Amino acid sequence: MAFDSITGHETVKKFIIKEFEQDRIPNAFLFHGPRGVGKFKTAVELSKLLNCTGGPVKPCGTCFSCRAIENSEFPDVTLIDPLVNIKRSSEEGRKTESLRDTIDDVISASVFKPNIGEKKIVIIDDVADLSVASLNNLLKLLEEPPAYMCLILITEEIGRILPTIQSRCQKITFKKLAPEELTRLIQISELPNDPIIAELSEGSIGRYKELSEGAFERYMGIIDKLSDTFEKKGSGVQDVIDSATSIEQMFSKETREYFRTAADFFDFLRTVMHKMLIEKNIHEKFKKFYFAISSANKTKQKNVNEDLELRVRIMTLSSVVIDDAVKACRRYVNFELLLSRFVLNFGKSIRGID
């Protein structure tokens, strides 16, 4: 059956197959949902489905088109990832580093008829991170898309997508993978089976892969540095600056990808705090962090261990600080200033201070 390689998302797969069988595939899709649950993989499989020359079940996975698409070598399928400034176009036959505004050139070129395929496909990952000029160009294309074209836009947060773009796309919602679906993907992969990481992955195989391949230890290293800062009673400005500087050094700055890594860390931090404070699920690796939060609040009036209302308050305030940090990452603000502001405000939030 088509899309057998996609784990979960049965409703999504059935809908796409039905539309294909009835020759009703729209010119534009908007795939939205959590990161790492299969949106991009589904986009690739859809590209195969629309250009497969094998059969009887499509995509066959073995014809020239299917194999070329899988290897990013098909001339009529273009991938754009604006966040890391990489344009991968099989029309050029290689990966090229590019400024974000050159995305416009790819979109403009995509109006030409397919070279060998049935459909011209443009997959735009993290579409919300396109420049304003690129979004305007994209909107023009969506207003009158050629019959031979299919655009597949991918985003984690549909709220960041302009309503004018949303209204011109077939929206497809992707949800978190169920625990058994995530377990199945882990089992058939070459990744190590780690229950703690699986729990923190929140139904995302992409997040599990990143955490199990080193991100978990890096993120815990950052959390340990935060813990060291907050254990110092009345941490001063210099403590905040020193902490932010040491954390900054843990992010690679080769490309703007480090803003995405920072945003991923903040989301990871939120998950860890929810496990500790709300679910009271405190793994051995989190005890130092939990002790730092408890120590910052342990008075005659406040005790994190015994006071659920206090834990909820800390979680609520911390979530606001984390949300602000994630938004700052998307604006590409000064990274050192971002971290200094985060450390200062996060320190207040774990003490239950607005």
Other beta carbons less than 10 A from residue 229's beta carbon: 20
Give, as one character, the DSSP assignment of residue 176: P
For position 186, what pLDDT does the model report?
Answer: 92
Vertex 250: Cα angle to 82 and 262 (nearest 5): 40
Closest of 203, 167, 200 to residue 185, by C-alpha: 203
Four-CA torsion 275, 280, 284, 290, nearest 10 degrees: 90
Cβ pair 16, 49 in contact under 8 A = yes
Q: What is the 3-state secondary structure (H, E, C) of 241-282?
A: HHHHHHHHCCCCCCCCHHHHHHHHHHHHHHHHHHHHHHCCCC
- pLDDT per residue, tens digit, the chain (354 aa), is 567 788 889 999 999 999 999 999 999 999 999 988 999 999 999 999 999 998 788 898 899 999 999 988 898 998 887 654 433 433 344 343 444 455 667 777 777 888 898 999 999 988 887 777 778 888 888 988 888 999 999 999 899 898 999 999 999 999 999 999 999 999 988 889 999 999 999 999 999 999 999 999 999 999 998 888 887 655 567 777 888 888 888 776 655 678 888 899 999 999 999 999 999 888 888 999 999 888 887 665 677 888 889 999 999 999 999 999 999 988 888 888 899 999 999 988 988 887
All structural domains of the chain, each given as residue ranges with its CATH number in brackets, are: 10-175 (3.40.50.300), 180-349 (no CATH)
List residues bridging with 142 in a β-sheet.
none
Per-residue exposure over 202-224, b if at least 16 CB sit within 10 Å of its own CB, e if not: bbbbbbbbbbbeebbebbbebbe
Contacts of 72 (CB under 8 A, 6+ apart): 79, 88, 90
Helix %, strand %, coil % for the chain, to 5?
55, 10, 35
List residues bridging with 78 in a β-sheet.
89, 122
Per-residue exposure over 106-139, b if at least 16 CB sit within 10 Å of its own CB, e if not: bbeebeeebeebebbbbbbbbbbbbeeebbebbe
Cβ pair 346, 226 in contact under 8 A = yes
Q: Is the Cα dihedral 233, 236, 238, 239 positive or negative?
A: positive
For position 84, what pLDDT does the model report?
Answer: 46
Edge-to-edge order in the sheet of strand 94-97: 94-97, 86-89, 77-81, 120-124, 149-155, 28-32, 170-173
